[in-house]
Structure 1
């Protein structure tokens, strides 16, 4: 009996896909640092029963229509805004993601980015490497305190809760804004629910963890940045299009806000000539929120488990429900 065909759009660890290879013919795009070209993905989709995808892969109606045998799409991420889930479901295709397994890892990175941006860690390290450190002075690369400040979290899901938990270790006041109240976070962490406007006007650190939707696209815009404190630091570890990058650049250049730490961008990878990358008060990371060896291995394995379950007519562990 012929095994079903599975295409993986980026190279995964060989050890992780062994179980998948037992039940399917598996092909991986071999280049780790280069996304699979659209034309290749479309061609592979024609014969695939399953595709394991990355956030950089656009899984739209065109691709879904080109894949008559497709049963499951497993996205190596919590988010799934790269996939037309409704259209896939209408065609009987199950879409899966990797929620919760990356919560703490992403929260670690979020708080690390907050700290590095606030205390100018990257700038200071480069200052030493460039041989610019000639003497000690009281305000040399002085940043902003984190302890006893107010953190405002936009998007109080699992990752938001984990970030808030870390903030308690710095005796921070915790504000949050969400589509609905998170009573568990209020009770266990002392988080306070406020309006979006109150959060951006009050918080010293505005941390964006909201998913990308039609409502959240460009949520952080020219008007939003103008309402923030001049000492405010903006951190985005959700999705790039949630923030208007032109407005953010102007806010940073004009001094409307103090700094930004960004792990996500409107277009990824961000071009090296992008204006944001010219600013010393911006720390830019290559979308590594969940990128620890341990967590990525778990995410890969979960994708494979979901695919195996669907191919064997079982129920996947983490189907996307919209």
Structure 2
């Protein structure tokens, strides 16, 4: 059985954790042959531009990676950002599981995989601690002017006077609205409990019991934006959720409220957000994600005095990178073993005869 690990060439340090856990997986199951291959798109001088293009347009417009063509006998395939299109999957003779080393699925055609009897697992939850930690840091940094004060001192100044100084809050007793209640949203609520805040949640895909378990209350979308002192965005970006936070939602926010986005910029109408901030119709925003990255030094948000901006850092920790690889190989094994698997994106593939026959053979090889 062949495991092919596609490593994005221009991402520093990404290959180490993947290959370490791949080799451990192979030691546990000696029938696995591990192959490491590189991937890049030399047409773009900035690799992040490639990721953004795939994220926006999907994988189908991208060329098939040579690594696929040169490793057509692969059974298990993993990668992070390279495009996994239907035509790319057709380059393989008997591919049966794809592992995506992150939670985002914009670079893979899930339907095409299911149609071909290929299971897909992702690393959902891999950076949930990293992003939830960062979210609370951004919330505090913006409402307490931490980053702004740092910048003033580094620039040779000293002041207590910031645009939001007249409304700088304590967190105790305030209402935090969590927009999206997956892995990250739940952890944000857990970690905020020590601040003695009230939490309301908007997520139409989560039942009341799951929300109440975390000491939070369900709110309708307008209710959340109207009543929250802080809105933390944690939804998944899909066609249904794109620009789901628009002018209508932002316009009902309190003038003392803050928006924190460490998820995806596409969830928020940034034109409407800019207008709200520029006209000081809300207290501020903390943004880690943008419609175009890297952010242009002359971008309109840079000129605002009521924002905290960071360079898409929320999920970037050493622990998150290790978690990605560990989770993927654990989940591959669990799919083969027939266990209930978190991060199994297309479980309907279990009824595909091509997949079930391969799983039976793999179980025997693995001694499961």
TM-score category (smaller protein): 0.7 to 0.9
Larger helix proportion of the pair: 2
Deviation string, structure 1 residues 66-123 (Cα, Å, up to 9, x no partner): 5565443322222323322122221222221112343333211111111111112111
* Structure 1 residues without counterparts, runs of 5 or longer: none
* TM-superposed deviation, 1:165: 1.9
2:224 is paired with a residue whose SS is helix
**What is the TM-score when the length of structure 2 is the normalising length?**
0.74
- Secondary structure of the corresponding residue to residue 86 of structure 1: helix
Residue 17 of structure 2 contacts residue 322 of structure 2 at CA under 8 Å; is this kept in 1?
A: no
2:47 to 34, 39, 47: 34
Q: Larger Rg: 1 or 2?
A: 2
Q: Report how far residue 260 of structure 1 moved.
A: 1.2
User: Aligned in 2, Cα 1:154/1:188: closer, same or farther, shift over 3 Å?
Assistant: closer
1:231 aligned to 2:244?
A: no
Secondary structure at the counterpart of residue 25 of structure 1: strand
Normalised to the residue count of structure 1, the TM-score between the two structures is 0.83
Q: Which residue of 1 aligns with 2:363?
A: none
Q: Partner of 1:251 in structure 2?
A: 276
State the number of aligned residues: 314
Matched with 1:98 is 123
Partner Cα distance (2:163, 2:301) in 1:
23
Structure 2's unaligned 5+ residue stretches are 27-32, 55-61, 348-368
Q: Distance in 2 between matches of 1:99 and 1:182?
A: 22
Within the candidate set 10, 19, 32, 1:17 is matched to 19
Question: Is the CA contact 1:13–1:297 (under 8 Å) kept in the aligned structure 2?
Answer: no
CA distance in 1, matches of 2:95, 2:219: 44
RMSD (CA atoms) = 3.1
Correspondences of 1:216-295 after superposition (within 5 Å): 216-295=241-320
Measured after TM superposition, the shift of residue 40 of structure 1 is 7.3
How far apart in 1 are the matches of 2:300 and 2:7?
Answer: 34
Greater Cα offset, 99-108 or 21-30? 21-30
Equivalent position of 1:301 in the other structure? 326
2:229 corresponding residue in structure 1: 204
Deviations 1:231-268 (A, max 9, x none): 21111122221111112111111222221112223344
Q: Does 1:186 align with 2:199?
A: no
